[in-house]
Amino acid sequence: MRAAMTARFPLEPDATEMRHLVDEAMDRIVAHIESLPQQPAQNVEGATEFARTLIESLPQRGQSYEKLLDQLFDELIPRSFNAAGPGYLAYIPGGGIFHSAVADLIADAVNRYVGVCAAAPALAQLEANVVRWLCEIVGFPRGAGGGLASGGSLANLTAITTARDERLGGDFQRGTLYCSTEVHHSFQKAVHLAGFPKKNIREIAVDAKFRMRTDLLEEAIEHDRQKGFTPFLVIGSAGTTGTGAVDDLARLAAIARASGLWFHVDGAYGALFAMTDRGRERLRGMEEADSVILDPHKTLFLPFGTGAVLLRDAGALRRTHSMHADYLPQMQTEDELVDFCEISPELSRDFRGLRVWLPLKMFGITPFRQQLDEKLDLAAVVTAELRKIKGIEIVAEPQLSIMAFRVVKPGLAEKELNELNRNLLERINARKRVMLTPTVLSGRFVIRICVVSHRTHRDRIDMAVEDVRAAVDEVLSPES
Ligand SMILES: Cc1ncc(COP(=O)(O)O)c(C=O)c1O
């Protein structure tokens, strides 16, 4: 009877079919994850040409599930940066803990609606707890709150829009915003999308450690006031993407308070290091912010798709995002219960809280803290080891777990040095045990190492050092 139904209604698989779907996928997933350390750190030669061959029209008929899985695991997934692997020291890794993947399966399978509290109060509360825990990590007082976004960029947009409404209301065209030259570009994007003219952004120069020059910030605020602008927001970086620099957040908080500015902290990469003793010390002042963003899909090792925006005054988010509609259920009036649609641009959305809640409840915070402590240690180790290699210049010491270096050769002009370092990076990455990415600092092409993934341990850092050493020998040898 049930089999006949499944044949008639293929979108409603029966128990056997459901198990088959999951088992077939799980066999391949487990084999994939177990082989991550042996997989190349990236494998994208010819991948774009291959991608072009995949364009196809809307399928009218179905195909074998097993064949589709094989195509995914054998042909499509391998042709990429191995962002889940231990050798991915590029951009900002996260790794992707498996427990969150299981949570996603549960959340998608039960498909409860958490956009409004009334539809699933207990599940909404579970997600609200996640936000409370993140506020606790940041050091925010009672009364703080926020929500989960798809990532740091959306979290930045939510924070900037809220700050705009709180401080400037509808008349904001003369409002000016202050960031360092090293700020993540999602800030400029958020400012633009929030309706500000791009020319209202003041990019303040950085010091030798790539931190915002607070003396120049104060001058810029004063200068703008005299010109009739309304200085209203300063963003501090709790770990820049380029070099991992942590702005002097305590000083920025003091300046913001004295000048009546909103103090926003971009902690997409760095804020969660506050779980560790060393991180908390380095991030001192973050707890004084009006808003903080952070990315569990970076430093809580979650799969891509989870950022968070946290506000010192939870009510501010509601004041910006709350809208009435007659077809929606009654919204909550108590502070303890949250309607996520009232504090974010989204109405319908995935039940994303579960992917953070499940691993944190299963393990508590300790293994996450240990992992982050290990990353701080590994960044120090890789810096010390690279410093021993003749020709290497450490351009940025790790303030958290990102460092930057380059090779120097006497007699070469800056342009030639940049070419030499481009060549060096290609040679390191060609070995495929690690993947590193560059940035440009005041015209200098430098190579970054970002240690974040929960799968990266000392053995992989030793491989990174070996590969850099071998590549440096090649580019500095008289024959090259
Ligand atoms: C410091 C910083 N801020 C913001 C972002 C944007 O975050 P997302 O990629 O999650 O949108 C990033 C991304 O790497 C980042 O490093």
Express each pLDDT in 162-197 by its tens digit: 999 999 999 999 999 999 999 999 999 999 999 999
In a domain, 454, yes or no: no
Tell me how far apart the 2 most distant CA atoms of the chain are, in Å. 82
Going by their DSSP bridges, the two strands 291-294 and 307-311 should be labelled as antiparallel
Distance 327 CA to ligand 1 centre (A): 36
Residue 197, in any domain of the structure:
yes
CA dihedral 163, 166, 169, 174 (to 10 degrees): -50
- Ligand 1 atom, smallest distance to 307 CA: 10
Count how many domains the chain has: 1
Q: Alpha-carbon distance 17 to 232, whole Å?
A: 58
Q: What mean pLDDT is predicted for residues 326-347?
A: 93
Query: Ligand 1 center to residue 469 CA distance, Å?
Result: 30
Q: How far is the CA of 184 from the centre of ligand 1 (A)?
A: 7
For the chain, the average pLDDT equals 97
- Let me know if residue 449 belongs to a domain: no
Give 192-244 pLDDT, tens digit per residue: 999 999 999 999 999 999 999 999 999 999 999 999 999 999 999 999 999 99
Supply the residue whose CA is at minimum distance from atom 8 of ligand 1.
Answer: 152
Ligand 1 atom nearest the C-alpha of 91 is: 14
CA distance 270 to 277: 13
Place of tokens 């952004």: 201
Residue 52 lies in a domain: no
| Per-residue confidence band for 375, with pLDDT thresholds at 50, 70 and 90 | very high
Q: How far apart are CA 399 and CA 389, in angstroms?
A: 21
Structural domain contains residue 83: no
In the prediction, which pLDDT does 4 show? 65
Which amino acid is located at 344 in the chain?
S
37: in domain: no
Is residue 385, in this structure, part of any structural domain at all? no
295, 301, 402, best to mutate for ligand 1 pocket (most atoms within 8 Å of CB): 295
CA-only gyration radius of the chain, Å = 24
- CATH number for the domain that contains residue 340: 3.40.640.10
pTM of the predicted model as reported, rounded to 2 decimal places: 0.97
Find the domain containing 219 and state its range. Answer: 105-365
The reply to whether 76 falls in a domain is no
% of the chain at pLDDT higher than 70: 99
Ligand 1 pocket, mutate which of 156, 185, 241 (most atoms under 8 A from CB): 241
